[in-house]
Structure 1
Amino acid sequence: MGELLNKSLLLLFLYFQITIIGSKKIASRNINESSGKLSECRRCKILTDSFNHWLDKTSRGKYEGGDAAWEEEKLKSYARSEIRLVEIQEGLCSELKIHQDPCYTLAEEAEQVLEKWWFYENPNAADLYTWLCIENLQHCCHKGHFGAACSACPKDKHNKVCGGHGKCDGDGTRLGNGTCLCRKGYMGIMCDECSENYYLSEAGTCDACHASCNGCKGEGADSCEACKTGWELHSGVCVDVNECSSSVCKLNEYCTNTEGSHRCTKCDLSCKTCMGDGPSNCTSCESTNVLWFGECIDDELQQNYITNSIRRLALYIGLLVITLFIFRSSTSVVTIVVVILAVYIYFTEKNLKMTTFNVLQHLLFSAK
């Protein structure tokens, strides 16, 4: 009974292992197929670009050996030799950072066709892309054509594909149905109409309406047919509504007005309510703290601010009195020393988080 149980568990374990591995392979294949999958035309273009790259890389090559002149005479010139073709094929697709595998695959499939072009075709008569991708493999069409039959893309009366404001579906490939795919701002069968919230400019282009407009007849906020939400009409012009003028945010948030809208942001953790970012923009505090020039601090920190400020004030007054007493007979010296003292006080106060003046101001205000 125990042996049978062990075998059953082993078979169950193997089943799950096979299932997991299989699912990983399927998932991996699905990812590879769904991400970055290339059309046949695009693959062919990548291949011909790579071939031309290595054609250029080998352009200065020659036969290696003792008698290059004899080899050139008896064999074909190096420029169209089998040796050069082999060198090109060895490097083909290797320079690519992306789409390397699809390029290798098509290079193997088209190997004999490429050899035919190399040995029997005049390279100056037609470029490789046209000869290979359009005429022989028939993966692509000439620009301005689409579909299996390479039909012509729709053109307007000025002979422009999709009115010059878009491209036809499948352009240059054996795919698509030729429908015009319009650029942003254009619509219609021939992309000859302006989309919603675009207007026809004097230059004949479809330009975007002002951000405040819900439909327009021209440029600017004074050409709106109606105002978007977050804007309102004043004297024929759509102006931004300041949502922050009323309470639109939560108690522990502050409001920032934006064009056509607003943004609510949480106050600093030290604040109960606030009017801006950071711990120095509080407008009220929790019961355990007191509001001190926009900051919520506890009683101990408040007392430290007061004590240190009184000490600094006593020091400043003491230095000033001593200076006046010692140098009372010389006005010029007193002036110089007072200036030095003022500079000292300035730089001392500048680096303080809470200045002596702020503390005294708070105390006097609180006393009232």
Structure 2
Amino acid sequence: MPTVFPQGMVDTAKKNFGGGNTAWEEKTLSKYEFSEVRLLEIMESLCGSSDFECNRLLEEQEEHLEAWWLRLKKEHPDLFEWFCVKTLKVCCYPGTYGPDCLACQGGSERPCSGNGHCKGDGSRQGDGSCQCHIGYQGALCYDCMDGYFSSLRNETHSICTACDESCKMCTGPTNKDCNQCEVGWVREDGTCVDVDECAAEMPPCSDQQYCENVNGSFLCEECDSTCVGCTGKGPGQCKECIPGYTKENGQCTDVDECSLSEKACVRKNENCYNTPGSYVCVCPEGFEETEDACVQTQTAGDEVTEESPAELPSREDL
């Protein structure tokens, strides 16, 4: 609240000054500047309508704010200091913490060496210890974690920079500066290089997967649904094809059983429909199914000859 109040003062600073009669406006403005009307307008803008906690605190401390506005503002121009730190005693100055507003670890000017957050900073809570940013460690966040190296270090500042991804620990930014290689890398000629797990004598993936090498590791990806074993992604990388598919131009494609010279559907008047990897045999409309034929059920005059079979049903009717 005491951090929002100054913005309200800025927003209302020249509300009644619109140009025209300068002498009248300056007189009016000077009255408005220290008026209870302006205070009320500022206070109405401090909290959102749904911020219950803010509105509760404003109601409880309204008298304190009025006293500061009307009598104490000149003597104590810093509202945050007077209201939050010294009067309510719920805040501390930045860089301090706890009931007595003690300095954070590393000092109130640059807590945690500027590389972390002080627990309780600016409040009457916390223990002043440091929560270090990523890459830093130690009580004052001055040291580098594994995977980072010190790119700047003097009496007042410490900057830690990430090692190359191949390094577990390092002294510089490249894969030649590793003290120790990360898991999935191996040292060759003084440099940490990626291990190709996919080239191992015993492949790490299952029979229906292919191995894809990535930096420091590998991925097992599923073969195409038309494959029986594969060497890579897609129907063009199959070792063999599943039943109902055959290798054509290097990839597994569906066999159209209905177009083969040897009829797939052998019952009289029966229609053949190709499906992915298979086919179905269906009697035409107006025919009923028996063990060895499709028998016409239509009345005379609506006969469908063997040479002119009934119109094939759509796929949706199958």
TM over 0.5: yes
How many angstroms does 1:283 deviate by? 3.3
Q: Secondary structure at the match of 1:256?
A: strand
Deviations 1:220-272 (A, max 9, x none): 21222222221111111110011122321122222221110111122232223
1:223 counterpart = 2:182: no
Partner of 1:346: none
Partner of 2:219: 263
Find the aligned partners of 1:227 and 1:210 in 2 and give their Cα distance: 10
How many angstroms does 1:209 deviate by? 2.1
Q: Secondary structure at the match of 1:232?
A: strand
Partner of 1:14: none
CA RMSD of aligned residues (A): 3.3
1:116 counterpart = 2:67: yes
Q: Which runs of 4+ in 1 moved over 4 A?
A: 69-76, 301-304
1:100 counterpart = 2:51: yes
Find the aligned partners of 1:267 and 1:250 in 2 and give their Cα distance: 10
Q: 2:39 aligns with which of 73, 85, 90?
A: 85
Structure 2 letter corresponding to 1:165: N
1:196 counterpart = 2:152: no
Find the aligned partners of 2:207 and 2:78 in 1 and give their Cα distance: 70
Deviations 1:65-106 (A, max 9, x none): xxxx999979981111111222223333138xxx72222222
Pairs within 5 Å for 1:190-339:
190-202=140-152, 204-246=158-200, 247-300=203-256
1:171 counterpart = 2:121: yes
Greater percentage in strand: 2
Corresponding residue pairs, total: 249
Pairs within 5 Å for 1:12-161:
47-62=1-16, 77-94=31-48, 100-122=51-73, 125-155=76-106, 160-161=110-111
Find the aligned partners of 1:132 and 1:175 in 2 and give their Cα distance: 18
Specify every segment of 5 or more residues in structure 2 that has no aligned partner in the other structure, as ranges. 18-22, 261-318
Identity %: 38
How many angstroms does 1:165 deviate by? 2.4
Distance of aligned partners of 1:91 and 1:161 in 2 relative to their CA distance in 1, 3 Å threshold: closer
Distance of aligned partners of 1:159 and 1:171 in 2 relative to their CA distance in 1, 3 Å threshold: closer
Partner of 1:343: none
Partner of 1:184: 134
Q: Secondary structure at the match of 1:104?
A: helix
Q: Secondary structure at the match of 1:276?
A: coil
Structure 1 letter corresponding to 2:173: E
Contact 1:93 1:103 in 2 (8 A): yes
Deviations 1:166-209 (A, max 9, x none): 23221111111111222222222222222222222256522222
Q: Secondary structure at the match of 1:214?
A: strand
Distance of aligned partners of 1:286 and 1:114 in 2 relative to their CA distance in 1, 3 Å threshold: same
Structure 2 letter corresponding to 1:288: G
Distance of aligned partners of 1:292 and 1:190 in 2 relative to their CA distance in 1, 3 Å threshold: same
Contact 2:98 2:124 in 1 (8 A): yes
Distance of aligned partners of 1:72 and 1:119 in 2 relative to their CA distance in 1, 3 Å threshold: farther
Find the aligned partners of 2:231 and 2:125 in 1 and give their Cα distance: 58
Find the aligned partners of 2:198 and 2:116 in 1 and give their Cα distance: 42
Contact 2:194 2:216 in 1 (8 A): yes
Q: Secondary structure at the match of 1:283?
A: strand
Find the aligned partners of 2:229 and 2:163 in 1 and give their Cα distance: 39
Distance of aligned partners of 1:53 and 1:280 in 2 relative to their CA distance in 1, 3 Å threshold: farther
Deviations 1:121-153 (A, max 9, x none): 225843322222212111111111110100112
Find the aligned partners of 1:59 and 1:294 in 2 and give their Cα distance: 79
Find the aligned partners of 1:261 and 1:290 in 2 and give their Cα distance: 34
Distance of aligned partners of 1:142 and 1:287 in 2 relative to their CA distance in 1, 3 Å threshold: same
Distance of aligned partners of 1:83 and 1:276 in 2 relative to their CA distance in 1, 3 Å threshold: same
Distance of aligned partners of 1:196 and 1:71 in 2 relative to their CA distance in 1, 3 Å threshold: closer
Distance of aligned partners of 1:55 and 1:223 in 2 relative to their CA distance in 1, 3 Å threshold: same
Deviations 1:8-58 (A, max 9, x none): xxxxxxxxxxxxxxxxxxxxxxxxxxxxxxxxxxxxxxx234433433333
Q: TM-score, normalised by structure 1?
A: 0.59
Greater percentage in helix: 1
Find the aligned partners of 1:108 and 1:57 in 2 and give their Cα distance: 22
Distance of aligned partners of 1:225 and 1:138 in 2 relative to their CA distance in 1, 3 Å threshold: same
Distance of aligned partners of 1:73 and 1:161 in 2 relative to their CA distance in 1, 3 Å threshold: closer
